[in-house]
Structure 1
Amino acid sequence: MKRGYILAGLLLSTFLAAIEGTVIGPAGPRIVGDLGGVELLSWVFTAYLLTMAVTTPIFGKISDLYGRKPVFVIGSVLFLAGSVMCGLAQGMEQLIIFRAIQGIGAGGLIPVTFTIIGDIYPIEERGKIQGYISSVWGISSLVGPLLGGYVVDSLNWRWVFGFNVPFGLLSLYFILRYFHEQMERRKVKIDYAGAVTFTVGVAALLFGLATGGQQFAWNSPILLTVFAVAILMLAAFFIVENKAEEPLVPLRLFRIRDVAYSNVASLLASALLIGLTSYFPLWVQGVLGENATRSGLLLAPMSVCWLVGSVIGGRWIVSRGSRFTSLIGLLLIAIGAIGLVFVTDGTPEAMLMVWNAVYGLGFGLSFTVFTIIAQSSVGYQLRGASTALNSFVKSLGQTIGVAVFGALINQHIAKETASGSVMGVKVTQEDVNSLLSPEKVQQLPLELWNTLRHVLENGLHVLYIVMAAIAAAGVISVLGLRNRAPEAEGSREEA
């Protein structure tokens, strides 16, 4: 019975994280229309993903040393506090800061959720339970865009940050009340040097990728200094980790073949996921002129098929092996990515839904496999670190993806509007922001609206081509996996 309540708490926490990630997509254009700063839109995603990326392995290691429960509680509290503050933000800069706080909480919450599953369920049941967890992502991904779009159109974008609060509080209660872990008391050493070098290095790298070509020129002294700091700190991090008694990120995990290849595939697939959920609403609302509810509806097939794919993936990894399952998943993702390359403003909405459905089926198949591989390839003492490493790689892929994709689109818009006119039509930054606001876009002259939406369409087309290339690389990466089912407890490889 207790295990059932714990599972309910973990499912709710997963729903919390998933619903937050999906409702923000349809709200993005409206946030720009309200707060302005279309050039800062990518930072609404980047700030969250960056702080989640740098804190995920730290919290994962702490959970191995001090227990899963304290980390879960701290992560939940920070995540909920950040959610409330995001809903109260009065400017784009404030929203970005509060999203960063949310990300710190998610860095503790998300990986520990999967680790607890690995702790309380034997390998025979783990595939099924991980399928449930992935199914919640699918269900909440379906509810999120639809509900988020409806609320944005009917009430205000601020309300989308309140969806996860009641679920988070209930999840926190279940874990506090029913989860009692048995921790061996042992002398531990926190890898402070690794934490500092890793945090500074990754933060500098992602900051440089997010601002390069936008706030700062690629060859500017500031940006060159940032990248130099990133290289030096990351080099120092690898040196420190090889010598640390209790390394923050056990680099020896990469000596395990399946862990190494699955993490590469996770990195690429996660970049595609954030590209689709963050910038597809821009296509629907900016290019097609539809509302947020419509963008959520067109994303719904991805969520439904993610649910189907995750259930199938949990079964196939046992019956058909990890390489077969993940290869089918990445091939489907590649088909969906290539399909979007050929969409235009005249493409029927039914075809957009088809390509999103194919994408979702591929995500469901592949992400389920990657999580199970991370847990089944190591023993208890490294399970938290291995799961956190996989979660970190996914968040790193999303962070780099949204930073690079945002840079591509912003540079295209800036280039097309640099002269202050496009095809003889005068254009201002406020006009670009108005394109994404349902209220303000009505005030734009028809000729200006047509001009701006075609500028945005061309920028998104370039983005879809890049995403198709990344999907092809993902297919190649999973060929390195061994085609086998997860090993039974006690027969795993130790790094």
Structure 2
Amino acid sequence: MTKEEIVTRIKEKTTLRPLVLTSVILAMFMAAIEGTIISTAMPSIVADLGGFRHYSWVFSSYLLMQAVTILIYGKLSDLFGRKPVFTFGVSMFLIGSILCGFAESMLLLIVFRLIQGFGAGAVMPIATTIVGDMYTMEERAKIQGYLASVWGISAVLGPLLGGFIVIYWDWSYVFWLNVPLGILAIVGTNLFLHEDIEKKKHKIDYIGATFIFIAVSSLMVALIQGGVSLPWSSWQIIGLLIMFAISFLLFIYQENRASEPTMPLSIWKDRLITLANLASLTSGAILFGISSFLPAYVQGVMGESPLIAGFTLTTMSIGWPIASTIAGKLIVKIGFRPVAIGGGIALIIGSIFFLTLEASKGPIWAGIGSFIIGVGMGLTTTTFIVSIQSSVDWKKRGVATASNMFMRILGSAIGASLLGGILNNRLNNFLQENNANMDESLSIDAANVLLEESQRKKLSPETLSILQDGLSLGMDSVYWGVFGLAVISFILIVFLPKKGSV
């Protein structure tokens, strides 16, 4: 069956495409608002639960499970249809969200975020694949831009709503807001999305999924703990890196021999898919390098409120949908490569703003940098998804879409882990060097008090200055890492094939 015949059949079966699209939008809204609202709320969560040294694990645990499951969900959707996989994923996401709201310690929050991430692996990729199924190539470029706009609107509300919630309510509501949205998304897709799936017995690649889980987990733990809790030369870190290498090689071996692999390696023979996925890896790291740590800088170093910290991320969420909408129109006219190159340039310019960020420049400077980063993300992500979905047929569209999102999520996980490790390492070294000048010993967890105004006021001027200087120094190293990732992203984009307008 040709791609056009499949699209026609899906159109016939899906009698109310606008209602299916609305349900998909609700799910994407839920996932998008989760990503930004928790970044704004994290300083208040840390101030309440403690455990600043585990700050990055709240993001990394969620991303770990999302990265591990996203390929499996993509493959399952190709085998059994989008609807059952989507329903299961959203349900698990809601269970994790409810539990996160009841967390009484940072460790419990991390565990519940694992559950939430287990469901999140299905939300964005399957929602995007459903849209790819329902619309033609020409429609897809425009719809993907509109979807990014919806994502952007939700992300604009996320930081502001997150700041409002932690000030006037309780941080637990940032998780519980997902419940009504998820329920509506499940009801809508189950009522209005009809699929004609060939029923036959399939083999699921559990062995491959296990190998990639071990590989990603080993790498993340090594990046977070290396140089902070354990020296990089310690046998534990070296052992984790060896485990990563072995598990990854076994994953490649398994995918070559599996009858229905979790991630068919054949899709990586396509130059467009390979370079787009690698660029998604680095841009994903950039995204979380900004969104994970910028609120801590604005509140801890600049001394601003959670609402102001939310504003600096909101500008990214404004730039993203604007650029995505423009990208959807430009791809049809001039092809994907020029649009993607424009996005790569924007990522570099935005990262330069953060390289030059100082407390004296205030949140406006940070907001401008975030906006430009958002423009870069909007131009690149929309271009990558549309071009990849247009280069494969229905039977591979789910896993191809998932592979791109997997690389972006993996990049986010590596970015949160690597950049979080850099931050902890620099901050820890700075505090150790300056402890001799203090009456009390300071550790990384002492940075908790910077994130809560009432506690910050209790610090002596000397202690406050040292903590802020240490956090600022650590953030400078993080932003150098972001700049390096932006340069790598641009280089990868430049080597995209010149042909390929949609």
The answer to whether residue 487 in structure 2 is matched with residue 468 in structure 1 is no
The answer to whether residue 138 in structure 2 is matched with residue 124 in structure 1 is yes
Alignment-derived partner of residue 492 in structure 1 = none
SS in structure 2 at match of 1:346: helix
| CA contact 1:201–1:231 (8 Å) conserved in 2 | yes
- Unaligned 5+ runs, structure 1: 488-495
Q: Structure 2 vs 1, CA of residues 351 and 192 (structure 1 numbering), >3 Å: closer, same or farther?
A: closer
| CA contact 1:307–1:364 (8 Å) conserved in 2 | yes
1:419 Cα deviation (Å)?
5.5
Q: Structure 2 vs 1, CA of residues 404 and 192 (structure 1 numbering), >3 Å: closer, same or farther?
A: same
The answer to whether residue 179 in structure 2 is matched with residue 142 in structure 1 is no
| CA contact 2:334–2:501 (8 Å) conserved in 1 | no
1:298 Cα deviation (Å)?
2.1
Q: Residues 4-43 of structure 1: matches in 2 within 5 Å?
A: 4-43=18-57
> CA-atom RMSD, angstroms?
1.5
1:317 Cα deviation (Å)?
1.1
Identity among equivalent positions (%) equals: 38
Matching residue within 442, 461, 469 for 2:457: 442
For 2:391 and 2:453, locate their aligned partners in 1 and report how far apart those are by CA, in whole Å.
50
The answer to whether residue 467 in structure 2 is matched with residue 452 in structure 1 is yes
Alignment-derived partner of residue 156 in structure 1 = 170
| CA contact 1:56–1:392 (8 Å) conserved in 2 | yes
Alignment-derived partner of residue 491 in structure 1 = none
| CA contact 1:332–1:361 (8 Å) conserved in 2 | yes
Cα deviations by residue, 1:401-438 (Å, 9 ceiling, x for unpaired): 00001100101111112257165464423532111122
Q: Residues 249-260 of structure 1: matches in 2 within 5 Å?
A: 249-260=263-274
Alignment-derived partner of residue 490 in structure 1 = none
1:303 Cα deviation (Å)?
1.1
For 1:239 and 1:65, locate their aligned partners in 2 and report how far apart those are by CA, in whole Å.
22
| CA contact 2:432–2:442 (8 Å) conserved in 1 | no
1:223 Cα deviation (Å)?
2.4
For 2:472 and 2:116, locate their aligned partners in 1 and report how far apart those are by CA, in whole Å.
31
| CA contact 2:45–2:171 (8 Å) conserved in 1 | yes
Alignment-derived partner of residue 497 in structure 2 = 482
Q: Structure 2 vs 1, CA of residues 277 and 373 (structure 1 numbering), >3 Å: closer, same or farther?
A: same
SS in structure 1 at match of 2:293: helix
1:199 Cα deviation (Å)?
1.7
For 1:59 and 1:22, locate their aligned partners in 2 and report how far apart those are by CA, in whole Å.
24
For 2:303 and 2:438, locate their aligned partners in 1 and report how far apart those are by CA, in whole Å.
22
For 2:231 and 2:72, locate their aligned partners in 1 and report how far apart those are by CA, in whole Å.
32
Q: Residues 72-471 of structure 1: matches in 2 within 5 Å?
A: 72-418=86-432, 421=435, 423-424=437-438, 426-429=440-443, 431-471=446-486
Q: Structure 2 vs 1, CA of residues 164 and 484 (structure 1 numbering), >3 Å: closer, same or farther?
A: farther
For 1:281 and 1:131, locate their aligned partners in 2 and report how far apart those are by CA, in whole Å.
27
Cα deviations by residue, 1:61-110 (Å, 9 ceiling, x for unpaired): 11111111111011001001101111100000000000011111011222
TM-score by length of 1: 0.96
Q: Which amino acid aligns with 1:452?
A: L
For 2:99 and 2:366, locate their aligned partners in 1 and report how far apart those are by CA, in whole Å.
34
Number of aligned residues: 487
Q: Which amino acid aligns with 2:451?
A: L
For 2:48 and 2:194, locate their aligned partners in 1 and report how far apart those are by CA, in whole Å.
46
1:373 Cα deviation (Å)?
1.9
Cα deviations by residue, 1:135-164 (Å, 9 ceiling, x for unpaired): 122111111011111111222221111222
Alignment-derived partner of residue 4 in structure 2 = none
* More displaced stretch, 267-276 vs 153-162: 153-162
SS in structure 1 at match of 2:453: coil
For 1:483 and 1:246, locate their aligned partners in 2 and report how far apart those are by CA, in whole Å.
32
For 2:187 and 2:226, locate their aligned partners in 1 and report how far apart those are by CA, in whole Å.
43
Q: Which amino acid aligns with 2:265?
A: L
TM-score by length of 2: 0.94
SS in structure 1 at match of 2:360: coil
1:359 Cα deviation (Å)?
1.2
For 2:245 and 2:190, locate their aligned partners in 1 and report how far apart those are by CA, in whole Å.
41
Cα deviations by residue, 1:33-77 (Å, 9 ceiling, x for unpaired): 111111100000000001100110011111111111111011001
| CA contact 1:320–1:484 (8 Å) conserved in 2 | no
Runs of 4+ in 1 over 3 A off after TM superposition: 422-427, 483-487
Matching residue within 52, 64, 70 for 1:50: 64
